[in-house]
Amino acid sequence: MENFTYHNPVKIVFGKGMIAELPKLVPAAARVLLTYGGGSIKRNGVYDQVAAALKGRTLTEFGGIEANPSYETLMRAVEQARRDGCDFLLAVGGGSVIDGTKFIAAALPWTAGDPWRILSEQAPVPAAVPLGVVLTLPATGSEMNSTAVVSRLATHEKLFFSNEQVYPKFSILDPETTYSLPPRQVANGIVDTFVHVTEQYLTFPVGAPLQERQAEAILSTLVEAAPKVVATPRDYEVRANLMWCATHGLNGIIGLGVPQDWATHMIGHELTAFYGLDHGQTLAVILPGVLRAEAVSKQAMLVQYGRRVWGLTGSDPAALAEAAIAKTEAFFEAVGVPTHLSAYGVNAGEAAEKIRARLAERGQAFGEHADITPDRVAAIIRSRA
Amino acid sequence: MENFTYHNPVKIVFGKGMIAELPKLVPAAARVLLTYGGGSIKRNGVYDQVAAALKGRTLTEFGGIEANPSYETLMRAVEQARRDGCDFLLAVGGGSVIDGTKFIAAALPWTAGDPWRILSEQAPVPAAVPLGVVLTLPATGSEMNSTAVVSRLATHEKLFFSNEQVYPKFSILDPETTYSLPPRQVANGIVDTFVHVTEQYLTFPVGAPLQERQAEAILSTLVEAAPKVVATPRDYEVRANLMWCATHGLNGIIGLGVPQDWATHMIGHELTAFYGLDHGQTLAVILPGVLRAEAVSKQAMLVQYGRRVWGLTGSDPAALAEAAIAKTEAFFEAVGVPTHLSAYGVNAGEAAEKIRARLAERGQAFGEHADITPDRVAAIIRSRA
């Protein structure tokens, strides 16, 4: 096990009816900017719950934060928040709204030129406006971490930053808010959570059996819950378990002291930046390709994964590894997320070349051994035609 | 799954050599009181590492905090800290030193009469002096929670309190500090961790499969690691895994949203208070008795535990439950902690009567259904003769 430091001060407030706790969580004197997305919270009752809980507080709104939140949109929110003197941000939505609000939080007190530098140069973030979260879409884990991913429309870039200043002060997780989610978002969220876990688990063993089992705990729970959420979408228990799995997928715990491989996410971000695929869709496409390309170096963990999560038997490691990858692919398809580019109308050869060129220009290589070079990325993309 | 709130702000600094991080973790201007136990840290090099890291800082010491830290000893530390104007506490040791230091932290600014009220009346703790931890004995999980257990010698009482004011600001976990532990302390630590997990897991199902699997992850890792630590005591990986399991056993995560049964701990505390048994010893004795007494109400979880942690097969639930209990008992014995009172020279009948009388006087009943009455406690103790 490698050395590590872990400090996660997010307060989680979990369960039905917990939005009513907001008055205790948001400072009484705060000038709050409520941020949200396309407006589903106004149709499903979440907005009304938040408004009722914060009645009498100083509250302004910024709606319209899109999936893959854009720098362009978020800078408009920064301007509005400055104008209104907001000193607390309340993100009500899924990962895009939360990530976008983290960027707003960091950009608000920022004085060192264009805040895009926080993403493009990983410039230090000396301060941020405090933020809270009401989660409505389990997927990204952003509600309990300090990372945000932001896109720039003008340049087709999708970049991330991570800074302890932007840990939410609290996150309210009410599973009932997820009853009305469209099936496509639910499916994407399951895939996103699943891949967050595999990126921290399917690498190579370093003598960290507890972290491995904690990862398998999430994967097995997802495999069990996924068919149920399709069959009975208003089952509270299933929704609660999916929500808690998503948070644990990326609150940092399973990745402590172990190698990590974010290749699938990094390649997926490029597919979204160029072709607008949903984040979860890109992961379902790319993960099987990355695992097959790395099946030898990841063999020990793929075999363990196949046995423990999928109940595979047999003794040939290569066959077990391939069977585990095939199970993963079939799971994504069964959840309702296609795993090949053709299903999304994307030409794999063209995508491979575009992304190879950009990564080569940036000098990027991915994977726990940093050996997934731009050429190998291109081959992975072509393999997912 | 039940509603819950979770907020654990402890910063964990894990790995070999991490004591050297102390200067970044302890505020530069702090007047530090270093607390420790019987002096093993002066023999095994940990004291020297701490002293070297904090060279030039304002530092005084209070040694001699005993196993099952006593109110009497701790109040002497409070007096000394007041005299010296200490405003930061650094606990270097195991659970007893950490628990004791949490009590010192709460008692220092206390102005509402005798600080024993914090334990005896669960009086609110409005403030506490900040504390940090250098852990040297994996067992209690105190390094990442807000609970402390303190004994009063004069009255043979052992009581706990829990308050967010006494979360450590940081805890340094260097597995190498545990190489020199006596086998008895290592064994007690394994049992303590194991029972922390079962107290939050072996109750009844409430639709929380992730928490169940997270609990099983710790138990399975302990079962795997325990024989190795006996065979190769200087194996870093094994020590690291035991240490991380102990922290996860009681950092609150596995107990979120699920019923809990602290009967074994509560009965065990009485055995320590009256007879001076080690904490781990009392748990090894009592847990099998509690599980057998509750084998029907706990059957669903006992069966799952038997299958998943011990690999039991078969289809008769009662037989599986009993086999799982027998496996647990055998595991404690194999670790080196006897599971019957006779091994400790304690008369079970006398102990049963003493403890029955005290619990009846306090009107206490234990277990996730609060149905382990004083009479049933007495029967459990007698069954462990």
Domain annotation for chain A: domains and CATH numbers:
11-177 (3.40.50.1970), 183-382 (1.20.1090.10)
**Span B231-244, pLDDT tens digits:** 999 999 999 999 99
- CB-CB: which of B1, B4, B9 is closest to A237? B1
Place of tokens 């709104």: A61
**What is chain A's mean pLDDT, rounded?**
97
Residue of A nearest to B21 (CA): A5
Q: Determine whether the interchain pair B241/A18 forms a contact, defined as Cβ–Cβ distance below 8 Å.
A: no
Q: Which residues contact B92 (CB under 8 A, 6 or more apart)?
A: B34, B35, B36, B41, B46, B47, B50, B133, B134, B136
Residue B149 has what pLDDT? Answer: 95
d(CA B202, CA B215): 10
d(CA A167, CA A101): 11
Judge whether B235 is closer than 8 Å to chain A, CB to CB: no
Identify all chain A residues contacting B245, using CB atoms and an 8 Å cutoff.
210
Maximum Cα–Cα distance across chain B? 66
Confidence at A247, pLDDT banded by 50, 70, 90:
very high
Residue B312 has what pLDDT? Answer: 98
Judge whether B174 is closer than 8 Å to chain A, CB to CB: no
Distance from the Cα of residue A253 to its chain's centroid? 15
Residue A311 has what pLDDT? Answer: 97
Average pLDDT for A99-105: 98
- CA-based nearest residue to B93, from B131, B124, B125: B131
d(CA A118, CA A143): 20
CB neighbours of residue A327 within 10 Å: 16
Is the distance from CB of A350 to CB of A385 less than 8 angstroms? no
Q: Is A334 left (phi over 0), alpha (psi -120 to 50) or beta?
A: alpha
Average pLDDT for A212-234: 96
Judge whether B179 is closer than 8 Å to chain A, CB to CB: no
Judge whether B72 is closer than 8 Å to chain A, CB to CB: no
The predicted complex's ipTM stands at: 0.97
For A84-96, letters b (16+ CB in 10 Å) and e give eebbbbbbbbbbb
Query: Can you list the alpha helix ranges (DSSP code H) found in A93-235?
Result: 95-107, 117-120, 183-201, 209-231
**Span B280-308, pLDDT tens digits:** 999 999 999 999 999 999 999 999 999 99
Residue B169 has what pLDDT? Answer: 98
Q: Determine whether the interchain pair B241/A13 forms a contact, defined as Cβ–Cβ distance below 8 Å.
A: no
Encoded tokens for B43 = 């023999």
Number of inter-chain CB pairs under 8 A, A vs B? 111
Minimal CA separation from A222 to chain B, in Å: 9
- Residue A70 per-residue DSSP state: B
Residue B379 has what pLDDT? Answer: 98
Minimal CA separation from B328 to chain A, in Å: 19
- Taking CB atoms within 8 Å and a gap of at least 24, the contacts of B153-156 are B153/B70, B153/B71, B153/B72, B154/B72, B156/B273, B156/B274
**Span A259-282, pLDDT tens digits:** 999 999 999 999 999 999 999 999
Residue A297 has what pLDDT? Answer: 97
Minimal CA separation from A384 to chain B, in Å: 32
Residue B42 has what pLDDT? Answer: 95
**Span A144-191, pLDDT tens digits:** 999 999 999 999 888 999 999 999 999 999 999 999 999 999 999 999
- CB-CB: which of B5, B9, B16 is closest to A9? B9
DSSP one-letter string for B86-143: --EEEEEESHHHHHHHHHHHHHTT--SS-TTHHHHS---------EEEEE-S-SS-GG
Minimal CA separation from A265 to chain B, in Å: 24
Confidence at B129, pLDDT banded by 50, 70, 90:
very high
Identify all chain B residues contacting A253, using CB atoms and an 8 Å cutoff.
253
Residue of B nearest to A12 (CA): B6
Minimal CA separation from A201 to chain B, in Å: 14
Encoded tokens for B32 = 């530090």
DSSP one-letter string for A77-118: HHHHHHHHT--EEEEEESHHHHHHHHHHHHHTT--SS-TTHH
Minimal CA separation from B40 to chain A, in Å: 25
Residue A287 has what pLDDT? Answer: 98
Residue A269 has what pLDDT? Answer: 93
d(CA A32, CA A57): 8
d(CA A168, CA A126): 16
Average pLDDT for A65-89: 97
Encoded tokens for A298 = 């990841």
Please tell me the number of Cα atoms within 13 Å of A177 on its side-chain side: 29
- CA-based nearest residue to B46, from B67, B63, B32: B63
d(CA A131, CA A118): 18
Average pLDDT for A323-334: 98
Residue A126 has what pLDDT? Answer: 93
Place of tokens 């304690």: B346
Identify all chain B residues contacting A220, using CB atoms and an 8 Å cutoff.
209, 213
Residue B71 has what pLDDT? Answer: 97
Identify all chain B residues contacting A6, using CB atoms and an 8 Å cutoff.
11-12, 14
Residue of B nearest to A13 (CA): B5
Q: Determine whether the interchain pair B3/A9 forms a contact, defined as Cβ–Cβ distance below 8 Å.
A: no
**β partners of residue A14:** A173, B4
Q: Is A231 helix (H, G, I), strand (E, B) or coil?
A: helix
Judge whether A216 is closer than 8 Å to chain B, CB to CB: yes
What's the Cα-to-Cα distance from B244 to each of A78, A103, B172, rounded to whole Å? Answer: 41, 33, 12
Q: Determine whether the interchain pair A16/B3 forms a contact, defined as Cβ–Cβ distance below 8 Å.
A: yes
Q: Determine whether the interchain pair A240/B1 forms a contact, defined as Cβ–Cβ distance below 8 Å.
A: yes
DSSP one-letter string for A289-338: HHHHHTTTTTHHHHHHHHHHHH----S-HHHHHHHHHHHHHHHHHHHT--
Identify all chain B residues contacting A225, using CB atoms and an 8 Å cutoff.
209
% of chain A surpassing 90 pLDDT: 98
Identify all chain A residues contacting B3, using CB atoms and an 8 Å cutoff.
14-18
Residue B43 has what pLDDT? Answer: 94
CB contacts under 8 A, A 238-297 vs B, are 240-241, 244-245, 248, 253, 256-257
Number of H helices and E strands in chain A, helices first, is 15, 9
- CB-CB: which of B12, B207, B245 is closest to A237? B207
What's the Cα-to-Cα distance from B175 to each of A52, A112, B131, B243, rounded to whole Å? Answer: 50, 42, 21, 7
- CB-CB: which of B5, B210, B221 is closest to A11? B5
**β partners of residue A233:** none
Residues in chain A, how many? 385
Identify all chain B residues contacting A2, using CB atoms and an 8 Å cutoff.
15
Encoded tokens for B13 = 């600094």
Q: Which of B177, B210, B228, B244 to mutate to test the interface with A (most CBs of A within 10 A)?
A: B210
Average pLDDT for B16-22: 98
**Span B329-371, pLDDT tens digits:** 999 999 999 999 999 999 999 999 999 999 999 999 999 999 9
Residue of B nearest to A240 (CA): B1
Residue of A nearest to B242 (CA): A210
Q: Determine whether the interchain pair B217/A220 forms a contact, defined as Cβ–Cβ distance below 8 Å.
A: no
Angle between helices B209-231 and A209-231 (to 10 degrees): 160
**Span B254-287, pLDDT tens digits:** 999 999 999 999 999 999 999 999 999 999 999 9
Encoded tokens for A30 = 């705060």
User: pTM for this one?
Assistant: 0.97
Q: Which of A213, A228, A239 to mutate to test the interface with B (most CBs of B within 10 A)?
A: A213
Minimal CA separation from B75 to chain A, in Å: 31
d(CA A371, CA A366): 6
Q: Determine whether the interchain pair A213/B221 forms a contact, defined as Cβ–Cβ distance below 8 Å.
A: yes
Residue B316 has what pLDDT? Answer: 98
**Span B326-335, pLDDT tens digits:** 999 999 999 9
Q: Is A201 left (phi over 0), alpha (psi -120 to 50) or beta?
A: alpha
Encoded tokens for A9 = 């001060």
- CA-based nearest residue to A62, from A42, A76, A43, A46: A76
Maximum Cα–Cα distance across chain A? 66
Q: Which of B2, B5, B229 to mutate to test the interface with A (most CBs of A within 10 A)?
A: B5
**What is chain B's mean pLDDT, rounded?**
97
Identify all chain B residues contacting A207, using CB atoms and an 8 Å cutoff.
237, 240-241
